[in-house]
Structure 1
Amino acid sequence: MGLRLKNTDPAIAGPLRPDLPTAVTVARRHEFAARHSLSVAARLPGARDLPPGPLRLCYLAPRTDVGGGARILFEHGNRLTAQGHEVAVLSHFPRPDWIDVRARFVQVPFGVELTSSVPACDVIVCGYWDQILAARALGRAAVVHFEQGDFHLFEEIDRDTFAVASRNLVAADATITVGGTVASVLESRFGVPAAVVGNAVDRTVFTPSGPPATADRPYLLFVGWDGNGFKGMDEMRRVYSTLTASGRPLDLVWVTPRPPLDPLGRVVVSPDQSTLAALFRGAAAYVCCSRYESFSLPCLEAMASGTPVVATRNTGVLEYARDGENALLADVGDVPALAAQAARVLDDAPLAARLREGGLTTADAYSWDVIVGRLEAAYRAAAGAWTPPELPPGWTFTLDGLAFADPAAPEALRHVAAATAARAIAVPVSYPAFEGHRAVRWRVVARRGASVSSVSSVSSGGAGDAFRADLAAAGAGADDGAGAGAGAGSGSGVSMSSGDALTAGRGVSISSGSASAARRGVSISSGGTSAAGRAAPIASNGVIDADAVRAYLPAADLTAAVGAPPADVPYAAAMRDFAAGRIEPALDGFMTVFQRPGSRAEAGRWVVLCLLELGRDVEAAELVSGAVREYPDHSDYHYLQAMVGRLTGRRVDRDAYAAAIGMLGPATHYAEWFEDPASLIRGRF
């Protein structure tokens, strides 16, 4: 078989555990890359009568660790929930423990497109630009981009990155942002108008009246992770070194969302809000060395806490900072000037007192009571300026023999068909593989005959003008502008069938099999009938052809059985041999596919299973170890590695594997995966 062996003596090897950070990084790259290929139908002008009452809002949070951007998204959710709106917050990352999230929070596995879990809603709020096309592709609600600023606005970027960012940014039905500077850059750089709905500070938390953090000596407070160059942490080190070079008794407290690459001073990682507020109150000064910011929330929180602020003249700070009135400012990158300004605060008590008073006055103007009203107006205007896209004629759906896990999936499929500019749609379809395991593959279930205009032809007029007019009437900063749009297409005449609720094909009981199968505790059998009349399969390497878009609407193939896989499986004959206990010919068949370019990820899983059935455990361990390195976000290989490790006598960190597989979820970025891998790993341990 050409498999290379190496020593896996359990006596000298450490415990097996997954590399979750690498797996998450690769999964995010796969999701980002998949979004690049999306194209949505162009918007047509339109509007609808939105009934009064609470809005249904869904926020897509790109991160949940400590940071100003994440804090604002969660505050939006909390404040809008308190106003009676129905708010859901979706993220791949765990629920934060540093802030009380009172909106409904849903953690979506990294292996699944985040937008696939969007519930029925009036507005989808994208917290980052790369989510916009994926949200638009759902065709179910107005998509509002909440722009908080990042490298795409303030740094030079290559042509390809600019093109990808631009395609997403112009696709939003409306855009809101935190400040006039960001709105101006969006307009000039990408041609995207945006309404300004500023940030705010929670004055019940960030207040000068609470207890301060205690310290033996005065300290400067810095916030940011040194892995983000724009935060100016290099300048921070030099400012602190300059101030202490003369023997000045001064400490440094460094608040960071994750452990720093090169620690300095007292490091506080991911503090909760009350701890952060106490750190602000106890600081002699807060120093911001950022090279750019969209708003710079920590500076405003420092002001609200009664702490003098020293900052660079970055775009975000200049939204509210006035040199000598509520802060002392220096040019970006000017370390001597920053150090001199910090020294003035430390040495001039009357100046520090004036800055505190000026900062408190500034913070009073950024009240959540005002901001929430503007948010409500912006979202209601966007929802009212949007109409659902209509399903154009020419679509053909092949759903016979499928049972969707969600009874609403066929209707969701219609929405995707109406919204996409692609000519085909694929959904994940599961089939029984062997005892306790169902395999899932992407299958094209819908095709259209005619092409449509894509988002590249969308203009900023039409419904966008209606959105800005509605926002202006509501007094929500409409003078800054915002784009909006409506659905495309007309007519249908499409006949769509759907299966019953998924009630079959779960927990299949399979009996009889080879002696080697019994030794491994895997009971397999032959039988069943072959399926026919299926929709055309996607490419076997897991990359859907250019004409198809993926919609994560899980379904089961009720016509398939163990030993009778669907026709679109590239190693169907090998699976029949495997089910019949003919493991050697099955291994040959799987290896044939395994050696094809682009097919290793899907076929390798079956090769590992065959090797185990044949008692070739060392080869199985070698193969699965290499597969985990090559496909670190494929949860099946982590599952198999844990199982192989257990069979070969290795110590296995069961909790780490269960946690990693639960966070990764199904490996939908690949051609095939096992259904519900989290339940599989829990069941085996």
Structure 2
Amino acid sequence: MKVLFITYGLSIAGGNRAIFEVANRLSDRGYYVEVLALGGDHSWFDVKVSVKYLELPKRMRTLLRAYSLIKYLRVKEYKYIDVNTFAKRLGFRVDLIRPLAEAIPNNFDAAVATYYPTALSLWLSRHEGLRLYFVQDFPELASADGHYGLRLWDLTLRIPFNAFLAVSTYIKNLILERQYNAKILVTGAGVDINVFKPSKDKLVDVKGKYKVMTIIGSNPWKGADVAIRVLSEVSRKLPIHAILVGDREFVDLLIKSVKHSFTYTVFSNVPDDLLARLYSSADAFLFTSYVEGFGLPPLEAMASGTPVVTTDCLGNRDYVIDGVNALVAKPGDVEGLANSLIKILMDEKLRERLIENGLKTAKQWSWDKVVDKFEEAIKGESQ
């Protein structure tokens, strides 16, 4: 069978990693798989399938680069403006959904939308095979493109696709709120325990200090400012060195805004093998998102033998159990997160219990199980 994944962009992101993991493994099982993308660069991942990029008109490419730059710089006026409104202010209209719809071929047995604009493109396309929607996005993510983005996201969950593939129970419930009789399979996400595993090879080794790793994302729901404030709070009581994964310029700017006494190292554009070594180098992993569709990093940390402190960010409820395989605090609770982090660093028995149970948890979440759900949707709906 032939399967097409339709993507919006292929920059480094957890959602894109999930797409590539599934695409590669479907290919290993004998499927012919292609990925169609509006833009981006997939060189950061070892993709085994064909990736084709839609060539947009020069004026539209220029617009998108300008829009991305303005969003990155967070110019106040455009902080939550969608690309269509941005184009209108410049005097012309942009439509990314229809060109992508027209580029979707009709010679695939199944086509999988992977982000809310691609869901609309798939629905408007001439594709006659199975129409599936792999849903990883949530309201806060769509809101980054303004009210326009949020309305489109809501609309896509009301479209009668052959089946929805929800990355978590949280996402499943969002779909059911809008379409109570939708066919939904919860795929979960996976972790490759051949890559993410305990290691004695410490990439960061700072003597006399506890090492705490966290991932710093620039999107508001990632809680980056919370992470820095937690680290600052902990550093008042314990000597710590922070392992920060994220854009260096953004991280440096964020840290300057908070009075702190911890040292830190920044790693940017990190491939999986390096990320795994960073997890293993840390004495604890801190995750501060307000909301996530699934929230894969804590699971990767568990697989790497690193105890986890995380927020209750909804998507991670499928695998995180407070006091069993992680310590959990409310989103934005700096004091609660800091106290949990101190407990993990100071209580050796607690650390050992969380590490042991975390390793057991990680083994239950494989990418092969995720692909099983995709196969169930593809084969079940094609019969």
Instruction: With the length of structure 1 as denominator, give the TM-score of the two structures.
Output: 0.45
Bigger-Rg structure (1/2): 1
In 2, the alpha carbon distance for the partners of 1:303 and 1:380 equals: 33
Instruction: Flag the 1:159–1:298 CA change in 2: closer, same or farther, 3 A.
Output: closer
Deviations along 1:652-679, one digit per CA (max 9) or x if unpaired, are xxxxxxxxxxxxxxxxxxxxxxxxxxxx
Contact kept in structure 2, 1:280 and 1:307, CA below 8 Å: yes
Q: Does 1:220 align with 2:184?
A: no
Letter in 2 for 1:238: R
Contact kept in structure 2, 1:259 and 1:269, CA below 8 Å: no
In 2, the alpha carbon distance for the partners of 1:256 and 1:281 equals: 17
Match of 1:183 in 2: 172
Match of 2:120 in 1: 133
Letter in 2 for 1:353: E
Instruction: Flag the 1:263–1:369 CA change in 2: closer, same or farther, 3 A.
Output: same
In 2, the alpha carbon distance for the partners of 1:96 and 1:198 equals: 23
Picking from 244, 248, 272, the partner of 1:254 is 244
Contact kept in structure 1, 2:8 and 2:117, CA below 8 Å: no
1:375 positional shift? 1.3
In 2, the alpha carbon distance for the partners of 1:157 and 1:278 equals: 34
1:62 positional shift? 2.6
Gaps of 5+ in 2: 58-95, 256-263
Letter in 2 for 1:312: T
Match of 2:17 in 1: 71
Q: Does 1:199 align with 2:185?
A: no
1:79 positional shift? 0.8
In 2, the alpha carbon distance for the partners of 1:110 and 1:122 equals: 26
Contact kept in structure 1, 2:325 and 2:354, CA below 8 Å: yes
Instruction: Flag the 1:196–1:373 CA change in 2: closer, same or farther, 3 A.
Output: same
Match of 1:56 in 2: 2
Contact kept in structure 2, 1:256 and 1:267, CA below 8 Å: yes
Contact kept in structure 2, 1:258 and 1:270, CA below 8 Å: no
Match of 1:108 in 2: 54
Instruction: Flag the 1:165–1:268 CA change in 2: closer, same or farther, 3 A.
Output: same
Letter in 1 for 2:210: P
Secondary structure of the 2:177 match is helix
1:201 positional shift? 0.8
Q: Indicate the RMSD between aligned Cα atoms, in angstroms.
A: 2.4
1:158 positional shift? 8.2
Match of 2:231 in 1: 240
1:371 positional shift? 2.4
Letter in 2 for 1:143: R
Match of 1:336 in 2: 335
In 2, the alpha carbon distance for the partners of 1:274 and 1:95 equals: 19
Instruction: Flag the 1:210–1:383 CA change in 2: closer, same or farther, 3 A.
Output: farther
User: Once the two structures are aligned, what percentage of the paired residues are identical?
Assistant: 30
1:163 positional shift? 4.0
Match of 1:292 in 2: 291
Deviations along 1:478-514, one digit per CA (max 9) or x if unpaired, are xxxxxxxxxxxxxxxxxxxxxxxxxxxxxxxxxxxxx
Greater helix fraction, Structure 1 or Structure 2:
2
Letter in 2 for 1:72: A
Letter in 2 for 1:322: I
Secondary structure of the 1:260 match is helix
Match of 2:68 in 1: none
1:125-524 equivalences in 2 (<5 Å): 125-140=112-127, 141-151=129-139, 161-171=149-159, 172-189=161-178, 191=180, 193=182, 194-209=184-199, 211-216=201-206, 217-226=209-218, 228-246=219-237, 248-256=238-246, 259-260=249-250, 262-264=253-255, 265-384=264-383
Contact kept in structure 2, 1:125 and 1:146, CA below 8 Å: yes
Instruction: Flag the 1:242–1:189 CA change in 2: closer, same or farther, 3 A.
Output: farther
In 1, the alpha carbon distance for the partners of 2:353 and 2:250 equals: 33
Picking from 121, 126, 144, the partner of 2:108 is 121
1:209 positional shift? 4.0
Instruction: With the length of structure 2 as denominator, give the TM-score of the two structures.
Output: 0.79
Instruction: Flag the 1:173–1:336 CA change in 2: closer, same or farther, 3 A.
Output: same
Instruction: Flag the 1:71–1:160 CA change in 2: closer, same or farther, 3 A.
Output: closer
Instruction: Flag the 1:258–1:146 CA change in 2: closer, same or farther, 3 A.
Output: farther
1:370 positional shift? 2.4
Contact kept in structure 1, 2:22 and 2:367, CA below 8 Å: no
1:259 positional shift? 4.9
1:133 positional shift? 2.2
Secondary structure of the 1:205 match is coil
Contact kept in structure 2, 1:153 and 1:189, CA below 8 Å: no
Letter in 2 for 1:308: P
Contact kept in structure 2, 1:221 and 1:254, CA below 8 Å: yes
Instruction: Figure out how many residues of one structure are paired with residues of the other and give that number.
Output: 328
Contact kept in structure 2, 1:169 and 1:192, CA below 8 Å: no
Contact kept in structure 2, 1:221 and 1:280, CA below 8 Å: yes
1:324 positional shift? 1.1
Deviations along 1:537-567, one digit per CA (max 9) or x if unpaired, are xxxxxxxxxxxxxxxxxxxxxxxxxxxxxxx
Higher relative contact order structure (alpha carbons within 8 Å, sequence separation ≥ 6): 1
